[in-house]
Structure 1
Amino acid sequence: MTSKEEAGLFDTMTTAASEENEVDDIRSRQEKEEKLILTAWQSMSSALRQHSLCKDFRTPGPAQSFLAKQRQATQARRALSPWLQPR
C-alpha cells in the first residue's frame, strides 16, 4: 500500500468517525430536548391540576365559557412562572 492510499484510507476513517460523533451529538441534543419538554409538560400539568383541585372545594359558581377557562389556565401558569409575567 502506498502512502497516498494510506492517507486516503485514514481520511475516510476520520471522516466516518467525525460523522458518527456528529450523529451522536444530534441524538444526544434531541434526547435532552425531549426530556426538557416532558419535564415542562409534567410540571405545567401538575400545577394546573393543583390549581383546579383548589377550586373544586369552593362553592360552585356559574358555568364558565371555554375562553374563560383558558384565561384562568393562562393566569395560573403566569403566576407560577416569573418569566411569563406581563411587563
Structure 2
Amino acid sequence: MTSHKDPAPFDTMMTAVQEDSQDNTRSRQEQEEKLILTAWHSMSAALQQHSLCDGSTAPGQAQSFLAKQRQSTQARRGFSPRLQPR
C-alpha cells in the first residue's frame, strides 16, 4: 500500500498549477480594480472640468452625480431632433 503522507508527483504538480491559477486570478482582479478606479477618477475629473467650464449652474450649487452624467451625455450627443423642445 502507498503511504498517505508522501504526496504523489501528480498531486504536487496539481497543487502548483492551482496556486499559479489563483495568483493569476488575484492579479487579474487587482488589475481590473485599478482600471475601474482610474476610469472613475478620469470621468469624475472630466465631469468636474465640464461643469466648471459650462457655467450652467450657479457657483457653489451642488449637483448630483446623475445630473452631471446626463449633462455630459447630452453634450457628447448634442440634442437629437426627437428630444428638442417644441
- TM-score, normalized by length of structure 1? 0.61
Percent identity for Structure 1 against Structure 2: 58
- In the aligned structure 1, how far is the partner of 2:69 from the partner of 2:34? 26
The CA deviation at 1:75 is 3.5
Q: Which runs of 5+ in 2 are unaligned?
A: 59-63, 78-86
**CA RMSD, 1 decimal:** 3.0
Q: What is residue 46 of structure 1 aligned with on the other side?
A: 45
Which is further off, 44-53 or 8-17? 8-17
- In the aligned structure 1, how far is the partner of 2:47 from the partner of 2:39? 12
Q: 2:47–2:69: 8 Å Cα contact kept in structure 1?
A: no
- In the aligned structure 1, how far is the partner of 2:16 from the partner of 2:23? 10
The CA deviation at 1:73 is 2.1
Higher relative contact order (CA 8 A, sep 6+): 1
Length, aligned pairs only: 67
Higher percent of residues as helix: 1
Q: Which runs of 5+ in 1 are unaligned?
A: 61-65, 80-87
In 2 relative to 1, CA 47–21 (structure 1 residues): closer, same or farther, beyond 3 Å? same
